[in-house]
Amino acid sequence: MGAIYRREMNAFFTSGIAYVFLAGFALFSGLFFSFGVIGSGVSDMSPMFSSMFIIVVFLIPILTMRLLSEEKKNRTDQGLLTAPISLSSIILGKYFAALTLFIIAESIVFIYSIIIALCGQVIWSTLLGNYFAMLFLGAAFIAIGLFISSLTENQMASAVIGMFVLFVLYLMDSLAANIPVEFIQKAILSASFYTRYLEFTRGVFDLSSVVYFISIAVLFNFFSVRVLDKRRWG
Amino acid sequence: MIEVRNLSKRYGDKKAVNDISFSVGKGEILGFLGPNGAGKSTTMNMLTGYISSTSGKILINGVDILEDPIGAKANIGYLPEIPPLYVDMTVDGYLNFMYDLKKCKLARKSHLKEICDLCKISHVRERLIRNLSKGYKQRVGLAQALINNPPVLILDEPTVGLDPSQIIEIRSLIKKLGKNHTVILSSHILPEIQAVCDRIIIINKGVVAADGTATEIADKLTNEHKMTVRIEGTTRTADDKQEIADALKAIDGIKYVRADMEREKGIYDYDIESDDEVDVRRAINNLCRNKGWNILMLQLSDMTLEDIFMKITSGDISTVAENSESKASLSDFEMSFDNGKADGEKEETEAKPEAAEEPVAEEKKEEASENKKSKKSKKGGDK
């Protein structure tokens, strides 16, 4: 796992994806920070975090698009799958590399907190709550993106499908609102990523949501392993 | 070392590999031979655990690849048809990655240095794999397979895309490796298999069509000898031709005689086929002595690997077409061999202009002499 993790981290930077991702994250979070937080004169960064959801929807597929697609296309998966390592360590190595880059990107908020600390009071509890909420959200999204990457040889297809799927997850709330049947509506809302995420930005640290996001991450990583395994049996 | 029992792989309705069984001992170099699409790569992918088998058992060093894939894979170095190289890495970075991936315990620096020296890639270690030529990529792929010194090496068409001198280098490297590794290598280049492998398995349409050394396989397939004799008659005119042919035909055991073209003025070659049990060479010699003819040359031409291959794989039009294609490229190869071996005269004339020419690439000369050597040994084997 360590070898794959290190390789993927290097590949993120040599392929330039890391720079695109970090720059995208910095740009949009910077915009939301200056307009939503500094501009409205509040010291709470929650508005920035809630706006970042839609940005993450589009950025994470860029991060995950090549992770498995490229291996399959270049036939480098043959090297991995015939090496004396387990399938799960291949997936997890890649998963944690992407997650690490996400954490690096997200940690830019601590620079913002210094700016706030210069002119006001940082509310650390909500900041950390938001920070971890985004981390868990990213953890779930990356697992979904990685899974989609395992399904196709084409990086672009992987990115587009990933964005589409995550965007649908984002729209689930509005979808639910238009469904007249109450229990379906309820079911969709309880599975909604956005509602759960917004709870955090409102200052509610809900453990069940944490468990939910982590479960999604575990589930989709498991699916990715199954896809690799199934390919062997195909 | 490797044991394969009743291995099958099915893709939908198509049986890519059908009930293959064989075993390979320690220190053996086994050649997989077969036309394209015969199931060579599929078998190799199953041996290395890249794909699973539909049924059957594979034991690598006594470890079942399905029961303990990690344990079995630790014993294998694999060079797939397309080397699994990350083009965005340097050679050094890639080899270090594979070193970590294989959880190699050998001293990193010296082990990698040794492998790079062996594969002659030491001088490109800092280069990006993207910028390497096909031949160097292939060598890096081979280097990768050697990491952690696995007892079993599985090489899928290791010389494809290399230039002739590189091919010879890689072949001698494989031979060297064969001394302390078990090697399975696949190829559709017959001289390559013949030059490198102790044993050959011919796969056709997913089944083992033949298994053994080239001579063994030839013996099994044929019950006749073929030879070419060059006989000088008394008159040294075309009249001799018919007389000699008829006289040869009369010899007991000779089934077929065909007078070939005029090789020297008034002297002809005769292609002879005889029964397996009878050695007709003495009879021919006696005949010539009695008639006052001279034998200028006698060459046994038993089935070559090429003939075997053609015989086994022919039968379906598409395979035949493929074979003739590979044969075309093959005969190019053979021609260069033949030039070298035909006779001393030719050999000299061939060697001379090369030596006289301004220093052509050194390897070229080496290659030529290598060719001759391997051909000679092949010729010896045929006899």
Percent of chain B scoring above 90 in pLDDT: 29
Chain A contact set for B73 (CB, 8 A): 82-84
Tokens of A165: 């799927």
- What is the per-residue pLDDT for B383? 37
* Residues of A with Cβ-Cβ distance to B102 under 8 angstroms: 83-84
Q: Residue B222: which pLDDT band, with cuts at 50, 70 and 90? A: low
Q: Is the pTM of this model over 0.80?
A: no
pLDDT at B328: 38
List the single residue in B with minimal CA-CA distance to A73: B84
Instruction: Determine the distance in angstroms separating the CA of A61 from the nearest CA of chain B, rounded to an integer.
Output: 21
Closest chain B C-alpha to A187 CA, distance in angstroms = 40
User: What pLDDT score was predicted for residue B85?
Assistant: 95
Number of residues that this document lists for chain A: 234
* Chain mean position to CA B116: 25
A74, B74: Cβ pair inside 8 Å? no
pLDDT digits (tens, 9 = 90+) for A79-119: 999 999 999 999 999 999 999 999 999 999 899 999 888 88
How remote is the C-alpha of A106 from its chain's centroid? 10
pLDDT over 70 (residue B68): yes
Could you tell me whether strands B29-33 and B182-187 are parallel, antiparallel, or unpaired per DSSP bridges? parallel
Mean pLDDT score, A50-73:
93
pLDDT at A177 over 80: yes
**Which residues in B lie closer than 8 A to residue A83 (C-beta atoms)?**
73, 98, 101-102
Show Cβ contacts of residue B91 under 8 Å, excluding neighbours closer than 6 positions: B116, B121, B124, B125, B126, B127, B129, B132, B140
Q: Please name the residue of chain A whose CA is at the shortest distance from the CA of residue B55.
A: A233
Interface check for A230 against chain B (CB to CB < 8 A): the answer is no
Question: Residue B49 and residue A82: Cβ atoms within 8 Å?
Answer: yes
By three-state DSSP, how is residue B145 classified?
helix
Residue B132 belongs to what H/E stretch? none
Question: Looking at residue B315, what is its pLDDT?
Answer: 52
Q: Which two tokens stand for residue B373?
A: 């050597």
Return all residues near B286 (Cβ < 8 A) that are at least 6 apart: none
Distance CA B36, CA B139 (A): 23
Say if residue A118 is exposed, middle or buried (CB neighbours under 10 Å; 0-12, 13-18, 19+): exposed
Q: What percent of chain A has pLDDT over 70?
A: 100
**B89 neighbourhood in chain A, CB within 8 Å:** 7, 10-11, 14
**Pairwise CB contact (< 8 Å): B50 & A81:** yes
B89-115 as b/e: b if 16+ CB within 10 A: bbbebbbbbbbbbbebeeeeeebbeeb
- Return d(Cα B373, Cα B48) in angstroms, integer: 34
Mean pLDDT of chain B: 78
Given A6, A11, A85, which is nearest B70 (Cβ)?
A85
Strand, coil or helix: B180: coil
Pairwise CB contact (< 8 Å): B97 & A6: yes
Q: How far away is chain A from the Cα of B99, in angstroms, using its nearest Cα?
A: 9
Q: Are B31 and B37 in contact (CB under 8 A)?
A: no
pLDDT tens string B281-339 = 888 888 888 888 888 888 877 666 777 777 777 753 333 333 333 333 333 333 333 33
Mean local confidence (pLDDT), B81-105: 93
Percent of chain B's residues with pLDDT above 70: 79
